[in-house]
């Protein structure tokens, strides 16, 4: 009888950092896309609105979002990846009930359980949005786990994701500044 090799736990530091970094990277990409797709509206700058306050608080916001992403990774992503590793079901199918439970919990905790009856479409969009966030992060977590199991460097993927999630907002900021400069040059 062939003996099965012991499986590693998904709760290793490298897989946890991968799950957290994937959620931070997804958010950074979504924020840059929303900023670039926002309609360009002429805003008259006032003397008090220099934008410096936003630049000062940006590191604090990123640190806070990283903590929120770590909590979401621990509550949603890693359990979904562990379930996918134990069963033969595809990951998107497994992410659907986990996301539904997360949306229901958020509605109950926020004090809006009536939103299910009053705004079912919004709840459906929230459910699909959470599912869309869980699936890529869980896939990357499984990749990081497989890398660690094959004795490859387990920190390559998490560090690449974390670096990318920090560089995406910087690249988005550069694109926005270039776009504003081009817009001003064209309009003058």
Mean pLDDT of the chain: 76
- For 67-107, the pLDDT digits (tens) are 888 998 998 899 888 888 888 778 878 888 888 888 878 87
Comparison of pLDDT for 143 and 50, the residue scoring more: 143
**2: pLDDT strictly greater than 50:** no
**What residue ranges do the domains of the chain occupy?**
65-153, 155-188
Residue 108 burial by Cβ neighbours in a 10 Å radius (0-12, 13-18, 19+): exposed
Q: pTM for the whole thing? A: 0.70
- For 132-177, the pLDDT digits (tens) are 888 888 888 888 888 878 877 777 777 777 766 667 666 766 777 7
Percentages helix, strand, coil for the chain, rounded to the nearest 5? Answer: 75, 0, 25
Using CA atoms, how far apart are residues 35 and 52, in angstroms rounded to an integer? 18
Comparison of pLDDT for 64 and 63, the residue scoring more: 64
Residue 3: pLDDT band (50, 70, 90) is very low
Is the four-CA dihedral 72, 73, 75, 79 of positive or negative sign? Answer: positive
Q: Which tokens belong to 42? A: 């002429």
């Amino acid at each position: 009888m062939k003996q099965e090799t012991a499986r590693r736990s998904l709760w290793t530091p490298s897989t946890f950092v991968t799950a957290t970094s994937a959620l931070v990277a997804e958010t950074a990409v979504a924020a840059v896309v929303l900023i670039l797709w926002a309609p360009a509206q002429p805003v008259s700058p006032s003397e008090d609105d220099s934008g410096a306050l936003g630049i000062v608080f940006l590191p604090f916001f990123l640190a806070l979002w990283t903590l929120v992403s770590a909590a979401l990774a621990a509550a949603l992503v890693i359990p979904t990846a562990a379930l996918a590793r134990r069963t033969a079901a595809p990951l998107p199918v497994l992410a659907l009930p986990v996301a539904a439970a997360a949306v229901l919990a958020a509605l109950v905790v926020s004090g809006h359980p009536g939103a299910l009856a009053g705004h079912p479409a919004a709840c459906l969009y929230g459910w699909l949005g959470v599912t869309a966030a869980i699936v890529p992060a869980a896939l990357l977590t499984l990749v990081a786990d497989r890398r660690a199991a094959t004795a490859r460097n387990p920190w390559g993927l998490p560090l690449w994701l974390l670096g990318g999630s920090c560089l995406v907002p910087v690249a988005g900021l550069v694109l926005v500044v270039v776009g504003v400069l081009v817009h001003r040059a064209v309009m003058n």
